[in-house]
Amino acid sequence: MFDVFVNDPIIWLIPFIAAVIGWATNVVAVRMMFAPVEFIGIKPFLGWQGIVPHHAQALAGKSTDLITQKLINLQVVFEQFDAAAFATHLDKALDDLTDQVIRETAEKHGPEAWKALPDPVKAQVKAILRKEVEQVAVAILADLGKEVHEILDLKTIVVDAAEKDKKLIGDMFEHVGRAEFRFIKVSGLYFGFLFGVVQMLVWAAYPAWWVLPFAGFMVGYVTNWLAIKLIFEPAQPRKVGPIVLHGLFHKRQQEVAVEFSRMVSGKILNTGNMVRYMSTGASGERLFAIVERHVGGLLDRFRANPMAAALVPADRWDTIRGEVFAQMRKDLPADGGFLWIFTSRAIDVYSELVEKMTALDSESFEGVLRPAFQKDEWKLIVAGGALGLGAGVLQVVYMFGEQVTR
């Protein structure tokens, strides 16, 4: 047996080739998770679409279940919401709203009377109106705080984002799990070399034609399976002699919490997406019903004021109401507007996610990344085995072809 190592030195290459096979199959497996974004081939079976893009909506749903059930409960977030205190963040928005009401009423519908007023009187009118506007804003904020879980559906926002951009969810999983995916690639090299040593010894003792293809299949299959296993297991640190075993993903919980929170708050549950959702469709109608109820009350009080009555003709108020409401529907969701400030300051997605995710139990935390592997995970492992098998066949043909045909 040992003579073969001297007479046929090419056999020493087997562990190194196995290492390359292990690395290559794992690299391919990782890419198969995310690429291509769209199906390539002939549907339904002859072709491939990246596992994460293919299951983007389902994965988005699982991630959102985690977010809404374990991490962010809007009802709890707004349980202690102080609308009056929060209104201090809206000074500029409230000043703008006051000016808008003046423009849409006195300046537009009673320009001559308004222009004739002395500046101190104008300032007094604005001051009174500004105080009224602030009270209305506090009332609107209080209602928003009470009904935010009805107006803002975080799950729908995430799933809609995944539907519009399949690459988005893939980017999130790839970014959050980049250390784990890097480990999968590199581990293939080390595990492949170790399996290659065994493969070399078996080949030296029994150089049958099927040994290398079978060993190649096992290298590709087992290295993929083992790498995924080591990412998540054990969930809790386990000491084995001098070695402490701990799943790589679980070991990075604090780091992952920060990365996941940054991705979700920046790319998906950002202020723009939340404001867009709150101001459109059924949520938008519910939101504007609250706003129009309170602003309508403000206009009624303004109309009843003797000074306002002197400035604006009585037959213009219905027109004014329609114009104010139309303008508010346009201005409220605008960048830097009332709704934008409310959403960005009252709902701190990033901080909520980091705090809660850091404290998650192991099983729940695993749900951040594990679903990306669980969807068709077996296909990745079998694909690794198939690639290894093909590499083993090439080894037999090009390295030991003469030996097996004797």
Q: pLDDT tens digits, residue range 96-142?
A: 888 888 887 888 888 888 888 888 888 888 888 889 888 988 999 88
Distance between CA 296 and CA 292 in Å, rounded? Answer: 5
% pLDDT > 90, the chain: 5
| Strand, coil or helix: 5 | helix
% pLDDT > 70, the chain: 95
Return the percent helix, strand and coil in the chain, to nearest 5: 80, 5, 15
Contact (Cβ atoms closer than 8 angstroms) between residue 153 and residue 278? no
In this predicted structure, the answer to whether residue 4 has a pLDDT above a threshold of 80 is: no
- Please report, for residues 34, 248, 249, 357, the alpha-carbon distance to residue 255 in angstroms, rounded to integers and kept in the order given: 22, 12, 10, 10
In this predicted structure, the answer to whether residue 405 has a pLDDT above a threshold of 70 is: no
In this predicted structure, the answer to whether residue 404 has a pLDDT above a threshold of 70 is: no
In this predicted structure, the answer to whether residue 206 has a pLDDT above a threshold of 70 is: yes
**What digits encode the pLDDT tens for the residues 307-358?**
777 777 888 888 888 888 888 888 888 888 888 888 888 888 888 889 888 8
- Buried b / exposed e across 65-85, counting CB within 10 Å, b at 16+? ebbbebbbbbeebbeeeebee
Contact (Cβ atoms closer than 8 angstroms) between residue 320 and residue 105? yes
pLDDT, position 264: 87
Amino acid found at 327: Q
Q: DSSP letter at 247?
A: -
pLDDT, position 168: 83
pLDDT, position 401: 62
Distance between CA 155 and CA 136 in Å, rounded? Answer: 30
**What digits encode the pLDDT tens for the residues 141-192?**
889 888 888 898 888 888 888 778 878 878 888 888 888 888 888 888 888 8
Count of Cβ atoms closer than 10 Å to residue 18 Cβ? 33
In this predicted structure, the answer to whether residue 1 has a pLDDT above a threshold of 70 is: no
Distance between CA 301 and CA 349 in Å, rounded? Answer: 38
**What digits encode the pLDDT tens for the residues 72-91?**
888 777 877 888 888 888 88
The stretch 365-385 carries a mean pLDDT of 76
Domain locations along the chain: 3-405
> Which H or E element spans position 243?
strand 243-245
Instruction: Indicate the pLDDT class of residue 217, thresholds 50, 70 and 90.
Output: confident
pLDDT, position 299: 83
The stretch 280-304 carries a mean pLDDT of 89
Distance between CA 398 and CA 142 in Å, rounded? Answer: 76
| CB-facing half-sphere around the CA of 56: CA atoms within 13 A | 26
Q: DSSP letter at 41?
A: E
The stretch 195-210 carries a mean pLDDT of 82
Are β-strands 238-240 and 243-245 bridged in parallel, bridged antiparallel, or unpaired? antiparallel
Tell me the average pLDDT of the chain.
83
pLDDT, position 139: 92
The sign of the CA dihedral 68, 70, 72, 77 is positive
The stretch 241-265 carries a mean pLDDT of 86
> Which H or E element spans position 45?
none
